[in-house]
Structure 1
């Protein structure tokens, strides 16, 4: 290496360089050890001192107590996770509640934040250990007896390496403490911390707990069963079969089970609960076989049918009817046209008395109109009844048995006639009336008549009238009638009817048991809770176990690693205290003060160094010495660049390009999170990309936390660099106090924890970075808790097509009575709306689609778009129609004995006139005049006459009493409700399910009493008259019991659950007590009537489709509000910090980053700092008494040569960073941000960049 000419002596006029008194050439004897200018190996006596070797200094974090504590803490964390996992597995989840909103707040906060907080604090502890291990490794290498190469000691910079590469580098160099600590750090930062946020998540769990049955039900004794086998069963069956009503509790279309009820149900308050218990299943099956039949003569319509068991019957088949379907039971009844029972042709036997004949016939007169061809299908069937002990689950919302849950416990057994009155049941379903009807037992009005199914059968083109059971076999009408010609289809139709009517019959005959023999049951219910993933918990536990093992190994390696340090080498001054005792090494590094790191390593690549104790000093001083390498004169060990010239180093993380990239990442993350938040609020959650728990945990917890754990190391690295460079930044300004420069110990702690020290020194930029680095841990907490799942109602746009128009059809309305009469063959009373209202009021069965107790709504069909979901609900704007009874109370009064003879011959709109007609009807009624106190009910509207049609739109309800029913002149008292109904319509927002059942409705327009295009309200007035005529009974009759004689009073009875208003022993009721229920019933019956007869509306061809909403209950991803605020705040502060840090920047005036021992040594190797021992000065000069300050720049070293580094003021020439930069154009300076006003004062030195 060529030598440079000597520099001229400095002049006192040189700026920023003070005069140093001329000094003689020093003898290099230090502590009595003679040295030469050229290096030669020291020859030392290796004998130990009498008092033995001194124990070297090691950081507290590397001592046994701390590492053992960390090991125990790690195992405790793993154990805690395992405990939580086992609790979650055994209980199904943690903090189980009815819904996620019901989970206790403390549990949600603990689940969302506590694991992340623990992980962050745990990682901070390991950051402390990791930093100490990494910064101590060079000293461990130097403390080895044989020393270490410069690359593996003097130039180690593990704290500033990328943390992922540290374990690999350490393993190659066999630096086991760093390997163990670095591996643990990587595992904790990038595996444990993000994975622990995925251990727990919210979800639904199925809980199963034992319960006690408090009540069981059984069938009433055989002797009492006939009292329950009434046409109430047929009414319920009609509503279920034809109008889609729900089955009673513990009943299905195929079977019934004996009910059981749990006391103190553990799942009572939960949303979805199932009860599982042992009970008895009851059902029936039909055994059918083809009948042998023949026509008696081709010219007559009589057909003979034989069962092959000695039973023969003759049936007349109308050959002029297109389709005929018959059900012929065994027993005879006034309500049946045919029966099998015949003493000669079909005598009573154990087989025949339970059989029936099913016949289907079709006529084809296309070939011969007078002799049509008749095709007949005939089956003889015999029902069998069974029971079986089963284990079954029942859903408590309606107590519906779950078919898939049934598990037989015992073989099926016959349900004998000693247990079930099958004869009465078969008579009921075959004739439509109970056997007791033959005994002239009086019942309430709905049960005095056969259920009228003709309006429904009329839709099938079958000939009417037909057998009672045919209507139930056809319900619901979902196959063409012609298909019943197939014997299998015919068998299935009647088998289905027998099954569901038998199930309903069982439900009607139940009574609670006085004792419960088997009280064991299981309650299964769904709860929301915090679920611990077995997969992720096992992974984290394994990683923590690995951490514990590596901690023990770290403890061992730290214990076996020798350290000759006497104090913490945590500052420049403390490093100088070590350097000052090794003059030979100092000489070697003096020529390389302005070298970059790479060149510095190359200069000493063949050298080995060792940290040695001064065995001849009582102070225990240590120093660094060279122990091997090529002997080179220190003056010849030169850096091959001109003295004073160097390129300022710019560490990659501190470059603005990297800062810009990092800032864009932070901005992108902030924008993405805000966008997701907006979408979450707008769409009520984010759609889950998967339903697998582990996948969702990765997406919702692991990735966000991983982003934070990858962001934190960058801030830590920036912080670490600033901690390292802060003293040099202060020194570069000149005249800095030692406490704020060479004595600062920022590098001794994790960068996040030097906040207080930086604050005391007023290093505000460092304070900012410390805060941001700490907030990075908060960001991990926020991101880990940001996303969670919950049930929500998702809203989609859907298209709705109206089924009918919003206007009444004029022709259909005015011919409605004729339409109904044409469909009624066996009676003149249309009762379908009554059956539905009765089922709704008495059993809570739902009303027809698009119907409520107040309105019928214009029905729509939703376009599902090919995605049908029965659990979805819908919102659509539609029109509602209603009638309001508008009743007025007429108080109790005594009815006169006589009335004008022509009172009921005319029609008047006068209300008093209509009430007089009602009074006269009560007084003159001669129907069923019983003895004793009697009562009468009046329900009628007057037929329109020549004077005014409006009288037909008035409805009168009355209740009369007389003390003696047989005496027509006895006192009669009566009260009335006089009603003038009117029409109402309005627009509504209707919330309904997929079948059209209305769940809720909200009026969105004013109520109108008129329909568009209905001139003079002719259509609505006509509908009021039609409605009144359906409620009008026949001639009212007197009675001395409390049974009902018409539909409206029966509905009043089941609504009020009282017969007092019918009781002849009580005075007439106060109409004010009845009017609210009457008005409600009137409104409900009209809405049902419209729903059953939608032909009253105009077709929907001209109606345009409308847009509505589809609402589906979904589990979606939401953003926790608190976590969102934390995340957005931290990311915003990150962005602000990036802007501040990289805009103000760092003054780049160092030839290298002083990350290694050798780099710092090169800066102070020729400095007078090394001679400043024990705060002593070189003389008694007054200046020496002043407080010393220090600067970084160019100085004349102890060797009288110019050096770059740190020295005592006022003997340092500061370096102007501008002199180290190439000149830039104005445009380039603007682009790179160099137009900012320069701060600080840099006094120029002679010759610019060198002295």
Structure 2
């Protein structure tokens, strides 16, 4: 009993699984090569600053060997340990850390007599001037930005009262070191040469009323101190993301050979990059624009007429705290340090060699997590105690019981009950599992392992009991029928093996009932295995209903489609903000797409590759493991493009001496809505080739050349409103091929036609509908189902979803403004390679990983070759543009318009599941048990033995007085095989019944035929059959 129902089930709970961390020593190679400082201005492209922009503003995934505070020299195992497949493997080795500290101070103010110019008398006069002085000798004049802190929120007179330059709640200024043509102010002439890294930062809160006194201005002088340090660093082996480090050496000033600080700091002040690397970087010569992003913040985009500098924007982005906090000098210094560290660390990854050209070897280790089997102490102690009890007990003989209904019926009902219970539990576990009974490991082990195994082991001894009984009775039951041959009766040895293992002997003797019971006893082991592993715990998403409050209506604000990012600088300065446009050059959607394509960064919240979805919640407050799903409105756009034959366009390349080259293009295209031809026009400046360095005139390359145009064209001067709308919304693309003479025309003009160019016109189709959207708590789209969208939208739809939606005017303005962002012309550029000079073609190459469209040696592309790359890029960029500007484009809900949307969230919970394969195995075994138990009962042995043959004496009394003993005379020394052959030669048969012994007295036992009177006893089935037969005879007698 203790073994069967104590030790066996409890030992099933001894072992559990846990994760453990193992470690192995290894030799690592650290990359030691880098781009020397003298070559960095020629070899490092703008990719680093676009990536830094993505990290600061878009939460872009960090590159390998970089955190937001430092970069590490790359290292890897000398022998590839990454081939070892272990989860959460880490590498630890000696390497070099690169970072910087900002040493900031609040400047002092000095007053001194100076000569000032008297404009009234046109003479100099003596006056007083102030300077902001640093400890390292910088002296910035106090009258520069002298009105900072004294500006009033509202229109800015210093910015010509332009809306884009309006004074907001806070103002931020950054003044770099170097004088450049793009910098309004600089410190180069106000600091000694020994302080050539110092910059100045201002931050202030503006007045709310003109009569208020000036506010205090937080001013800082800061100097970056670049350093390197030997560290033992640990990185994730798969992503190479740094996890931690331990310093093993002192900080050292970064070698002048490794870091060209003046080159990078000059870029900070100019916002320009020297090298345009066409292979890797976006087709831009400038740092990412900050105005568009900062327009959502309470920060002035211009201060006294000077546009906010990139580093001031990055400090705000890296800080991401309340603006009020930046008035604290320490917080402001930390914000700039965070921004500088990100930009510097990202630039250092470009400086350091990632290809392991030269290396140094260091000892290290790799750690990895494995799932191990551990021993549960409580169960172990109980099993040890039970083993001790069992070992001290004395074995007692077991007396087999006769098969009776009161014993068989409960056993059958037990199997049926277990099978039904398992079925109910399986049904309850679908699809979200069964709630765990407790968080205690001991309780869970008892419920999930001990109890099921105990039930399984409860069944096994019953079958073993029946098995032993049949092994003992089967030969005698065979003899009771008489005429039994020796091999199936007196020579049938079922006691030399454990009862379960006599199955083959039983089959050989045609004792199928015994073989069946043997199989049942063996199946008990499989049942125990199935029960012990049937219940498993898995994490699963469990849904629950939610009531959600959408922050926005599914309705677009009134938009002026002419106010967009492709406006000229003069028009941009005087235009009023409308729709998505507030300020800037409109490149944010390209930065987001670049981050997504290059780093796999998620798309903006509520956006996927084709649609923007109306948010159905603000901040849910749920933890990051939960996702929320609801049905919402989807908006997007697609294109329908067609080839324009050369009879419908006039495109002429015109040379304007000495260097300017323009493409003057007029395109006539059918407007299907009015059935009228519309002519659109544009003049595109073309550069002769990629500029190697900023300010150096590009030259035409030799051989075959290609040039591409992306155009959002203007209408003619006398155009109608419908024609103006048509040109605003239509996108045109052109691909031209030619030789060097096209770039350097012999005449002043070169005409494009179908032989050297292909032009396509693309009309937008606004797409909208509904979808079931599942998002993370931060709004990132995880899955979309039940999407039902269409581009055939009714007038009622436009009225419902656009403020100025009558006659589809609202959607026309929305698309016109979007196209000003997406199809903003970057000009054309002749090139003899396959790299893009404009954003649209750049992302078409990214999307398809194919640059044949731009290959000068390839034939002109077909419409299909263009559109199969263009369509997905356009849909994605349009969705991104909607997503990042939804707060400006959508009407917010008011108290009167608030609605409630029913949604569903999925929380991750660990639930209990039934293993389906083990469940099926257990159900089949239990079903077989029920059938086998009933059959054994129906064909059970009869009651004919005077005593159970459980001892040698009881067995001997069965044949001691019979003649059958004579058949075994002289066989004592025989082997079993010899004895079996001996009995086969005799050919005698035997039976069990009454016979007259040698002493003339009657006996009951085993005797040879025909000396025995053997009368078979009817079993349960025979008795039932006989009962029916007798009733039939009685009815027949009647």
After TM superposition, is the score higher than 0.5?
A: yes
Q: Deviations over 1:885-940 (max 9, x none)?
A: 222234679957799xx998999848999896447778999xx9998789674522
Matches within 5 A, 1:164-203: 164=2, 186=3
Mapped to 1, the partners of 2:559 and 2:780 lie a distance apart of: 25
Residue 464 of structure 1: how far off its partner (Å): 2.2
Matched, 1:811 2:558: yes
Matches within 5 A, 1:223-622: 223-227=38-42, 232-260=47-75, 265-268=80-83, 270=85, 273-293=89-109, 304-313=131-140, 314=142, 315-316=145-146, 317-321=148-152, 322-342=169-189, 346-350=190-194, 352-364=195-207, 369-395=210-236, 397-402=238-243, 405-434=244-273, 447-465=284-302, 466-475=308-317, 478-511=320-353, 512-518=355-361, 531=372, 533=374
Given that residues 962 and 1006 in structure 2 are in contact (C-alpha distance below 8 angstroms), is that contact kept between their aligned partners in structure 1? no
In structure 2, the partner of 1:1014 is 798
Matched, 1:850 2:634: no
Q: Deviations over 1:1013-1041 (max 9, x none)?
A: 21443333322211222245469577789
Q: Secondary structure at the match of 1:838?
A: helix
Give unmatched runs, 5+ long, in structure 2: 114-126, 153-168, 303-307, 565-574, 655-663, 689-695, 800-806, 969-986, 1031-1038
Mapped to 2, the partners of 1:657 and 1:885 lie a distance apart of: 81
Given that residues 798 and 863 in structure 1 are in contact (C-alpha distance below 8 angstroms), is that contact kept between their aligned partners in structure 2? no
Q: Deviations over 1:179-237 (max 9, x none)?
A: xxxxxxx5xx6788768877888887767667776783643101022345665444333
Q: Secondary structure at the match of 2:721?
A: coil
Given that residues 988 and 1004 in structure 1 are in contact (C-alpha distance below 8 angstroms), is that contact kept between their aligned partners in structure 2? yes
Residues 217 and 675 (structure 1), Cα distance of their counterparts in 2 relative to 1, 3 Å cut: farther
In structure 2, the partner of 1:219 is 34
Given candidates 813, 817, 820, the residue that maps to 1:1029 is 820
Given that residues 563 and 581 in structure 2 are in contact (C-alpha distance below 8 angstroms), is that contact kept between their aligned partners in structure 1? no
Mapped to 2, the partners of 1:1215 and 1:905 lie a distance apart of: 110
More helix, by proportion: 1
Residue 497 of structure 1: how far off its partner (Å): 0.9
Q: Secondary structure at the match of 1:669?
A: helix
In structure 1, the partner of 2:660 is none
Q: Deviations over 1:345-383 (max 9, x none)?
A: x43142x322222222224456xx335241222222221
In structure 1, the partner of 2:572 is none
Residues 498 and 824 (structure 1), Cα distance of their counterparts in 2 relative to 1, 3 Å cut: farther
Q: Which moved more, 1:202-211 or 1:252-261?
A: 202-211
Q: Secondary structure at the match of 2:233?
A: strand
Q: Deviations over 1:218-261 (max 9, x none)?
A: 43101022345665444333222222222233222111112245
In structure 2, the partner of 1:38 is none
Q: Deviations over 1:650-694 (max 9, x none)?
A: 9767443343333333223323433444456634799797797x9
Mapped to 2, the partners of 1:318 and 1:1204 lie a distance apart of: 123
Mapped to 2, the partners of 1:1186 and 1:1073 lie a distance apart of: 95
Residue 491 of structure 1: how far off its partner (Å): 1.8
Mapped to 2, the partners of 1:898 and 1:732 lie a distance apart of: 116
Residues 723 and 840 (structure 1), Cα distance of their counterparts in 2 relative to 1, 3 Å cut: closer
Mapped to 1, the partners of 2:1015 and 2:827 lie a distance apart of: 121
In structure 1, the partner of 2:465 is 717
Residues 885 and 515 (structure 1), Cα distance of their counterparts in 2 relative to 1, 3 Å cut: same
Give unmatched runs, 5+ long, in structure 1: 1-162, 165-185, 558-596, 599-649, 1177-1184, 1219-1231, 1243-1251
Mapped to 2, the partners of 1:727 and 1:294 lie a distance apart of: 120
Q: Deviations over 1:414-466 (max 9, x none)?
A: 214343122232333344335x59x9x9x998543453212332333222213
Residue 496 of structure 1: how far off its partner (Å): 0.9
Residue 1087 of structure 1: how far off its partner (Å): 1.1
In structure 1, the partner of 2:727 is 951
Residue 980 of structure 1: how far off its partner (Å): 0.9
Q: Secondary structure at the match of 2:215?
A: strand
Q: Deviations over 1:716-761 (max 9, x none)?
A: 2223334445577678889999988788765565433455666677
In structure 2, the partner of 1:670 is 419
Which structure would you say has the larger Rg?
A: 1
Residue 1092 of structure 1: how far off its partner (Å): 0.6
In structure 1, the partner of 2:766 is 983
Residues 699 and 816 (structure 1), Cα distance of their counterparts in 2 relative to 1, 3 Å cut: farther
Mapped to 1, the partners of 2:247 and 2:185 lie a distance apart of: 40
Given that residues 30 and 360 in structure 2 are in contact (C-alpha distance below 8 angstroms), is that contact kept between their aligned partners in structure 1? no
In structure 2, the partner of 1:969 is 748
Q: Compute the TM-score of the two structures, normalised by the length of structure 1.
A: 0.61
More strand, by proportion: 2
Q: Compute the TM-score of the two structures, normalised by the length of structure 2.
A: 0.72
Matches within 5 A, 1:1151-1190: 1155-1156=950-951, 1169=961, 1174=966, 1189-1190=991-992
Mapped to 2, the partners of 1:1188 and 1:1069 lie a distance apart of: 99
Given that residues 733 and 1240 in structure 1 are in contact (C-alpha distance below 8 angstroms), is that contact kept between their aligned partners in structure 2? no
Residues 813 and 294 (structure 1), Cα distance of their counterparts in 2 relative to 1, 3 Å cut: farther
Q: Deviations over 1:455-494 (max 9, x none)?
A: 3323332222133222111115642211212222212211
Mapped to 2, the partners of 1:277 and 1:468 lie a distance apart of: 36
Q: Secondary structure at the match of 1:385?
A: strand
Residues 898 and 651 (structure 1), Cα distance of their counterparts in 2 relative to 1, 3 Å cut: closer
Given that residues 480 and 1014 in structure 2 are in contact (C-alpha distance below 8 angstroms), is that contact kept between their aligned partners in structure 1? no
